[in-house]
């Protein structure tokens, strides 16, 4: 997400995309167009994100392999296959290496311009959002946050309990060093929050 500072009091402009973080050229473009912007990064447990990505691709008839095979051997889009999708539909594993992806953004933006939130903290409390808006507006935020009663862009439900434990363990092993690096670089407490 991008926060654009505005002269207009009481308004905060935010633009978001699920694929900015993984695209290195985007950081450079945003820096040239909006050098003073704040980058807001919302990260989800990479294990849950990978599994959710798989079910998204499956639900949209982009993936037909069993989850074990798809996660072990993610495919790439062939040049003759056009898919209109906001995110890489087969980057089940690659998109979860957040520390690596954030490195590119640090080349263009100061740490003060990059605000990282953990998805799991957001859904359990609105305090991280209120704190973020207070920081962005340089004032104590008495924001009245309203969330819709119905999920927006809700994906296919899957119960993590129905995913084989060896799949969960393998994904944790794959992402473990990246999560630890994320905590070393950004002090997020992600390993604890995500039970790594």
Sign of CA dihedral 170, 121, 88, 23: negative
pLDDT tens across 91-111, in order?
899 999 999 999 999 999 999
Of the candidates 22, 20, 41, the one whose C-alpha atom is nearest the C-alpha of residue 30 is: 20
Q: Which residue has the higher pLDDT, 108 or 124?
A: 108
DSSP-derived secondary structure letter, 44: -
Contact 142, 130 (CB under 8 A): no
pTM: 0.80
pLDDT tens across 62-90, in order?
888 999 999 998 776 544 455 666 667 88
Q: Span 141-168, mean pLDDT? A: 65
Q: Which of the residue ranges 95-109, 111-125, 145-159 would you say has the lowest mean pLDDT?
A: 145-159
Q: H or E element: which one contains 2?
A: strand 2-4
Domains of the chain: 2-193 (3.40.50.300)
How many angstroms separate the CA atoms of 144 and 152, rounded?
A: 19
């Amino acid at each position: 997400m991008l926060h654009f500072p505005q002269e207009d009091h009481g308004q905060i402009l935010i633009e978001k995309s699920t694929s900015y973080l993984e695209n290195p050229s985007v950081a450079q473009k945003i820096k040239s167009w909006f050098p003073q912007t704040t980058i807001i990064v919302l990260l989800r447990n990479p294990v849950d994100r990978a599994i959710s990505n798989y079910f998204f691709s499956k639900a949209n008839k982009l993936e037909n392999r069993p989850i074990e095979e798809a996660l072990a051997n993610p495919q790439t889009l062939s040049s003759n296959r056009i898919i209109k999708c906001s995110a890489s539909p087969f980057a089940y594993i690659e998109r979860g290496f957040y520390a690596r992806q954030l490195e590119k953004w640090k080349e263009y933006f100061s740490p003060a311009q990059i605000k990282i939130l953990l998805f799991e903290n957001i859904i359990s409390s609105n305090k991280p959002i209120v704190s973020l808006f207070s920081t962005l507006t340089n004032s104590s935020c008495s924001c009245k946050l309203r969330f819709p009663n119905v999920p927006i862009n809700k994906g296919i439900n899957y119960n993590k309990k129905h995913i084989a434990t060896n799949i969960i363990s393998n994904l944790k092993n794959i992402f473990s060093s990246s999560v630890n690096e994320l905590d070393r670089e950004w002090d997020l407490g992600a390993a604890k929050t995500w039970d790594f």
